[in-house]
Amino acid sequence: MDIEVQMKKGKRKKEFFYLGFYIDKENNFLLKYGTTCELPRRRREHRKDNPKLKNYPASEEFPFEYVWYISLSKANALKLEEDFRKQAKEFGFYKHIQNDRIVLEKELPEFIKIKIKKEYTIPYRQLVMDFLQ
């Protein structure tokens, strides 16, 4: 996914809410979500070995990758992150772990619905499969 960060006179224009994934060293599939003002930097941070994340460290073969993101105001991005956290608890086939990561214990969700003012239906499974091929 090409990432183009919008800048305006040296200042970041928007915040981003993102969905991504990685496969850990034990071959667990993890959905990762969060907010950032700088997508390329955040991707680099997710791809580094983080000693704080002792559980589910990313594999070198399948490091973190974005599958979907949206540009929002900071307040809306944070609200969406909180709403998604609540929605994720209703998935019923996952294990939610620290740092906004979800271990998918069954199969990937076909779609993930996100509602801001309008509802977005993200074909999560297809986007992930496109990356893995």
- The H or E element containing residue 88 is helix 74-88
Tell me if 86 is assigned to some domain. Answer: yes
Residue 7 has pLDDT above 50, yes or no: no
Q: What length is written for the chain?
A: 133
HSE of 114, CA atoms in CB hemisphere, 13 A: 21
Number of domains composing the chain = 1
Whether residue 1 lies inside any domain: the answer is no
Report CA-CA distances (Å) from 68 to 98, 121, 124: 21, 11, 8
Is residue 94 within 8 Å of 103, Cβ to Cβ?
yes
pLDDT digits (tens, 9 = 90+) for 105-128: 667 788 888 888 888 888 888 888
Note the pTM of the prediction, 2 decimals: 0.80
19-41 pLDDT tens trace: 998 888 888 888 889 999 999 98
Domain membership of residue 61 as a residue range: 7-132
Residue 20 lies in a domain: yes
For residue 63, being part of any structural domain is answered with yes
